[in-house]
């Protein structure tokens, strides 16, 4: 703990507290009954919601001013202020003796990481009493305890206000990115850029011709002797569309298209779970959870045999500038394949191959991530438990398409605006980390005597310690009396069903 102020003294928690372990009461019901008290478990303390009531006669009781500590479980060492009620079976009550209860709370809060990481037990961790009672408890005079608590209350209150304000930043950034994408697919993002330019009008005939040529070429490479070409679906509002209120007016050089019209191949992976192998000598196999707007995350992907991989990619081999689009689970998430990574994909992921002469892959990725297309993807997603955006429905998702020249400009502008948002996001993350570390730093200063001024008029903590020891000697250890009357219950709790 280091050097303490001259009027402080290091003691054991056992010197200044009485400790009572909770137990399972004989009667424990969801509804309040005569003679009952709130049963205070971890959830009751954390969320201030009482779910059960117990009989007072067989319960160990919290009193106002006690501090609760989780004794058993993954959160062992976690502490909370508490109120009147039965001590939960996994909790311990710390009952302060002549010291400020909140000062004790802040000390235990400071030590939570240490207590939690030094527990005992293999299956269910517990607080290690040796670790807990081995802690040095820095005891200042009572007036200084009160000043420290007041200072900590003020600082922690300010931190909560700052945190609440900062929580809005990720939401605002997400909304900003969505607004940028909405402007991109409506033509507003490049409205001033188009002024004075003679832009080529999107030619759906050329798009269809190129699509057919690419499909026939694939059929030829696959060894098919004949191929019956099926024309792309043209979007018809109210007939092929869903999740869109209208085909809003777009610039004269733009035209509404469907996913089917701008891609020459759409495929998904096997509709069964293949046999998974170790990483060595196998191929990467991704599912929906590996796909995000920022790219593919191979960190926790599965691995399959070379034979399965070769079979699966016959329907569609992932290549640079293709688009992955989630169609199972969390549907409607698009990402760009940025290199020629070798992998295959499961049924919950679709592979879209854009007609590159007329469609910029980054533009298509951004468009699919826009609210316009995302809302359609959700409308076309069927199922409750197993949600699925089937390929035959997916291809109907519609959006406005500008010329390739303008697509490139839109991509550039989106990237520029997103990079600014990313910079703000990075600053936010850095600041959030510092703010998250502040409570521990403040508590460390508090318990070294560096947070408040020491006053000679406070007296000496050794005098307080003698008073505590004298009081403890006069307290005879007794079992908790079996109270026959109805326990007095403060109004400071809420029933879970209310």
Residues 337-355 have a mean pLDDT of 97
Q: How far apart are CA 473 and CA 143, in angstroms?
A: 24
Contact criterion met (CB below 8 Å) for 415 and 357:
no
CA quadruple 87, 89, 90, 95: dihedral, nearest 10: 30
pTM score:
0.80
Mark which of 401, 423, 448 sits at the end of a domain.
Answer: 401
Q: Is residue 326 part of a domain?
A: yes
- For residues 140 and 477, the model is more confident at 140
Query: How many domains would you assign to the chain?
Result: 2
Same domain, 232 and 125: no
Tokens representing 256 are: 């509404």
User: Are 464 and 395 contained in the same domain?
Assistant: no
User: Residues 388, 467: one domain?
Assistant: no
Phi, psi of 326 (to 5 degrees): -70, 135
With 80 as the cut, is the pLDDT of residue 34 above it?
Answer: yes
* 218/129 same-domain check: no
| pLDDT tens readout for residues 409-461 | 999 999 999 999 999 999 999 999 999 999 999 999 999 999 999 999 999 99
The whole-number average pLDDT for the span 62-79 is 94
Q: What is the pLDDT of residues 82-125, one digit of tens each?
A: 989 999 999 999 999 999 999 999 999 999 999 999 999 888 99
pLDDT of residue 385: 77
Mean pLDDT for all residues in the chain: 92
Are both 62 and 137 inside the same structural domain? yes
Q: Examine the domain organization and report whether 117 and 210 are in the same domain.
A: no
Assess if residue 279 is contained within a domain: yes
CB 82 within 8 A of CB 18: no
Specify the higher pLDDT residue, 474 or 61.
Answer: 61
Q: How far, in Å, CA of 83 to CA of 38, rounded?
A: 10
Q: Look at residue 29 in the predicted model and tell me its pLDDT.
A: 93
- What pLDDT is attached to residue 466? 92
Do 240 and 111 fall within a single domain? no
State which of 401, 419, 443 marks the end of a domain.
401
For residues 380 and 239, state if they share a domain: yes
CATH classification of the domain holding 239 = 3.90.220.20
Q: Assess if residue 296 is contained within a domain.
A: yes
Domain limits at 25? 9-141+459-474
What pLDDT does 224 receive? 87
Q: How confident is the model at residue 475 (pLDDT cuts 50, 70, 90)?
A: low
Residue-level pLDDT at 1: 52
Q: Is residue 365 part of a domain?
A: yes
Report how far apart, in Å, the C-alpha atoms of 48 and of each of 40, 55, 152 are. Answer: 9, 20, 22
pLDDT confidence of 222, banded at 50, 70, 90?
confident
Domain assignment present for residue 431? The answer is no
Whether 390 and 280 map to the same domain: the answer is: yes
Among residues 401, 422, 445, the one where a domain terminates is 401
Identify whether residues 117 and 245 lie together within a single domain.
Answer: no
On the question of pLDDT at 165 being above 70, the answer is: yes
The answer to whether position 127 is within a domain reads: yes
Whether the pLDDT of residue 331 is over 60: the answer is yes
pLDDT, tens digit (0-9, with 9 covering 90-100), for 288-304: 999 999 999 999 999 99
Is 221 within the bounds of a domain? yes
What is the per-residue pLDDT for 226?
84
Please compute the mean of the pLDDT values over residues 253-268 and round it to a whole number: 97
Q: Is 419 among the domain residues? A: no
Instruction: Tell me the per-residue pLDDT of 367-405, one tens digit each, with 9 for 90 and over.
Output: 999 999 999 999 999 988 789 999 999 999 999 999 999
**Confidence class of residue 2 from pLDDT cuts 50, 70 and 90?**
low
pLDDT digits (tens, 9 = 90+) for 131-147: 999 999 999 999 999 99
């Amino acid at each position: 703990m280091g050097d303490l102020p001259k009027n402080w003294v290091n003691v054991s928690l056992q010197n200044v507290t009485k400790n009572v372990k909770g137990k399972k009461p004989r009667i424990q019901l969801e509804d309040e009954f005569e003679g009952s008290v709130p049963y205070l478990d971890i959830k009751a303390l954390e969320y201030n919601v009482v779910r059960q009531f117990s009989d007072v006669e067989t319960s160990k009781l919290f009193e106002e001013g006690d501090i609760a500590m989780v004794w058993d479980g993954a959160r062992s060492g976690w502490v909370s202020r508490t109120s009147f009620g039965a001590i939960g079976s996994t909790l311990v009550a710390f009952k302060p003796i002549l010291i400020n209860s909140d000062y004790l709370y802040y000390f235990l809060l400071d030590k939570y990481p240490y207590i939690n990481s030094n527990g005992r037990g293999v299956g269910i961790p517990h607080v290690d009493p040796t670790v807990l009672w081995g802690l040095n408890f820095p005891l200042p005079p009572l007036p200084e305890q009160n000043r420290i608590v007041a200072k900590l209350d003020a600082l922690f209150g300010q931190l909560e206000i700052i945190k609440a304000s900062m929580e809005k930043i990720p939401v605002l950034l997400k909304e900003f990115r969505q607004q940028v994408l909405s402007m991109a697919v409506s033509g507003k993002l490049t409205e001033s850029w188009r002024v004075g330019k003679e832009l080529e009008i999107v030619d759906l005939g050329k798009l269809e011709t190129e699509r057919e040529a690419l499909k026939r070429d694939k059929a030829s490479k696959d060894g098919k002797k004949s191929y019956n070409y099926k024309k792309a679906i043209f979007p018809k509002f109210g007939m092929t569309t869903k999740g869109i209120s209208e085909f809003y007016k777009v610039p004269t050089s733009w035209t509404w298209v469907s996913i089917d019209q701008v891609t020459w191949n759409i495929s998904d992976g096997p509709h069964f779970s293949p046999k998974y192998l170790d990483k060595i000598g196998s191929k990467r196999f991704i599912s929906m959870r590996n796909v995000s707007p920022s790219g593919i995350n191979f960190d926790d992907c599965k691995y399959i045999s070379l034979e399965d991989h070769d079979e699966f990619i016959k329907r569609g081999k992932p290549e640079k500038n293709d688009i992955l689009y989630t169609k199972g689970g969390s549907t409607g998430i698009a990402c760009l394949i940025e290199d020629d990574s070798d992998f295959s994909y499961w049924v919950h992921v679709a592979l879209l191959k854009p007609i590159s002469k007329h469609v910029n892959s980054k533009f298509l990725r951004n468009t699919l991530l826009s609210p316009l297309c995302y809302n359609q993807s959700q409308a076309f997603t069927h199922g409750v438990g197993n949600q699925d955006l089937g390929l035959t429905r997916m291809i109907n998702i519609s959006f406005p398409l500008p010329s390739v020249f303008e697509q490139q400009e839109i991509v550039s502008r989106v990237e520029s605006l997103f990079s600014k948002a990313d910079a703000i996001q990075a600053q936010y993350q850095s600041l959030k980390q510092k703010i998250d570390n502040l409570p521990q730093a403040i508590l460390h200063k508090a318990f070294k005597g560096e947070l408040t001024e020491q006053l000679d008029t406070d007296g000496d903590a050794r005098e307080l310690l003698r008073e505590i020891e004298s009081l403890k000697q006069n307290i005879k250890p007794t079992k908790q009396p079996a109270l026959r009357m109805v326990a007095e219950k403060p109004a400071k709790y809420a029933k879970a069903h209310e």
